[in-house]
Amino acid sequence: MMWVELAWLIPVIPLVAFPFILFFGKSIPKGGGLLAIVAVGAAFFLSLFVVVDVSQGNLPVHGGGEGEPAGGGEAVHAYESSMVWTPVPGPESPLEVGVHIDNLTCLMLIVVSLIGWLVVIYSVGYMAHEEGKPRYYAEISLFIGVMLGLVVANNFLMVFIFWELVGLCSYLLIGFWYKKPEAAAAAKKAFLVTRVGDILFLVGIIAIWNYFGTLNFGAIQEQLKTMLGEGALDVQMLTTMALLVFGGAVGKSAQFPLHVWLPDAMEGPTTVSALIHAATMVNAGVYLVARSYFLFEHAPDALLVVAWIGGITAFMAASMALVSNDIKRVLAYSTVSQLGYMMLALGAAGYSASMFHLQNHAFFKALLFLGAGSVIHSMGTNDMREMGGLGKKMRLTSLTMLVGVLAITGVVPLSGFWSKDEIIVSVFHSGNWPLFLLAVVTALLTAFYMFRLWFMTFSGKPRSKEVDHAHESPCIMTVPLLVLAAFSISTGFIGTPFWPRFQEFINWGHHGGESFGATSGMLMAVSLVVALTGALVAYLLYYRRAASPDRAVSSGAGRAVHTLLTQKYYMDHIYYWFAERVVYGFTRVCDAFDIRVIDGAVNSMSDGAVRAGGRWRRSVSGNVQHYAVGIVIGLCLLILLLKFALPPLDELLGGWPGLSRWRWWEGWGW
Q: Which residues bind another protein (CB under 8 A)?
A: 83-87, 89, 606, 609-610, 612-614, 616-617, 620, 622, 624, 626-628, 630-631, 633-635, 637-639, 641-643, 646, 656-657, 659-660, 663-665
Residue 301 CB coordination number (10 Å): 15
**What is the distance, to the nearest Å, from the Cα of residue 283 to the centroid of all Cα atoms in its chain?**
5
The smaller minimum CB distance to another protein, of residues 167 and 311, is found at 167
Question: Between 614 and 669, whose beta carbon lies closer to another protein?
Answer: 614
What span, in angstroms and rounded, lies between the C-alpha atoms of 97 and 79? 14
CB of 214 to another protein, least distance (A): 17
Closest CA to 111 of 279, 266, 252: 279
Q: In the complex, what is the shortest distance from the CB of residue 320 to another protein, in angstroms, rounded to a whole number?
A: 41
Q: Do you know the residue count of the chain?
A: 670
Q: In the bound complex, what is the minimum distance in angstroms from residue 655's beta carbon to another protein?
A: 11
How far apart CA 570 and CA 556 sit, in angstroms, is 19
DSSP state of 471: -
Q: How far apart are CA 463 and CA 289, in angstroms?
A: 44
* 3-state per-residue secondary structure call for 141-183: HHHHHHHHHHHHECEHHHHHHHHHHHHHHHHHHHCCCCCCHHH
Assess contact for 496 and 418: CB atoms under 8 A: yes
Q: Strand, coil or helix: what is 387?
A: coil
Residue by residue, DSSP assigns 256-325 as: TTSTTHHHHGGGS-HHHHHIIIIISTTHHHHHHHHHTHHHHTT-HHHHHHHHHHHHHHHHHHHHHHTT--
Say which residues have a Cβ less than 8 Å from residue 482's Cβ, sequence separation at least 6: 396, 400
Q: Pick between residue 300 and residue 613 the one whose CB is nearest to another protein.
A: 613
Half-sphere exposure of 43 (CA within 13 A, CB side): 38
Of the pair 94, 521, the CB lying nearest another protein is at 94
Contact 254, 357 (CB under 8 A): no
Q: How far is the CB of 634 from another protein (least distance, A)?
A: 3
User: Closer CB to another protein, residue 498 or residue 665?
Assistant: 665
Residue 160 CB, nearest approach to another protein (Å)? 14
Measured from the CB atom, the residue of 178 and 627 that comes closer to another protein is 627
Q: What are phi and psi of 216, to 5 degrees?
A: -75, 130
Would you say 34 or 95 has its CB closer to another protein? Answer: 95
- Bridging pattern class, strands 95-101 and 79-86: antiparallel
Cα dihedral 157, 278, 326, 368, rounded to 10, equals: 170
592 vs 602, beta carbon nearer another protein: 602
Are the CB atoms for 101 and 50 separated by under 8 Å?
Answer: yes
Q: Is 555 left (phi over 0), alpha (psi -120 to 50) or beta?
A: beta
Q: How far is the CB of 97 from another protein (least distance, A)?
A: 8
Determine contact, residues 427/349, Cβ cutoff 8 Å.
Answer: no
Q: Which is nearer to another protein, 551 or 643 (CB)?
A: 643
Identify whether the C-beta of residue 380 lies closer than 8 Å to the C-beta of residue 454: no
CB of 632 to another protein, least distance (A): 9
Cα(419)–Cα(350) distance, rounded to whole angstroms? 10
Residue with Cβ nearer another protein (471 or 661): 661
Question: In this complex, which beta carbon is closest to another protein, that of residue 544 or of residue 615?
Answer: 615
Helix axes 235-252, 181-212, angle to 10 degrees: 160
Please report how close the Cβ of residue 248 comes to another protein at its closest, in angstroms: 21
Residue 413: asked if its preceding bond is cis (omega within 30°), the reply is yes
Give the nearest distance from C-beta 95 to another protein in angstroms: 9
Locate the DSSP E strands across 102-152. Answer: none
8 A C-beta contact, residue 547 and residue 534: no
Least spacing, CB of residue 616 vs another protein, in Å: 5
Residue 52 or 628: which CB sits closer to another protein? 628
The 8-class DSSP code of residue 83 comes to E
User: Which neighbouring-strand residues pair with 98?
Assistant: 82
Residue number with CB closer to another protein (434 or 657): 657
What residues pair up with 99 in beta bridges, in sequence order? 81, 153
- CB of 669 vs another protein, minimal distance in Å: 15
Which is closer to another protein, CB of 9 or CB of 526? Answer: 9
CB of 625 to another protein, least distance (A): 9
The least CB distance from residue 61 to another protein, in Å, is 22
Give the shortest CB-191-to-another protein separation in angstroms: 21
Q: Least distance to another protein from the beta carbon of 145, Å?
A: 15
- Cβ proximity to another protein, 587 vs 606, nearer residue: 606
Q: How far apart are the first and last CA of the chain?
A: 48
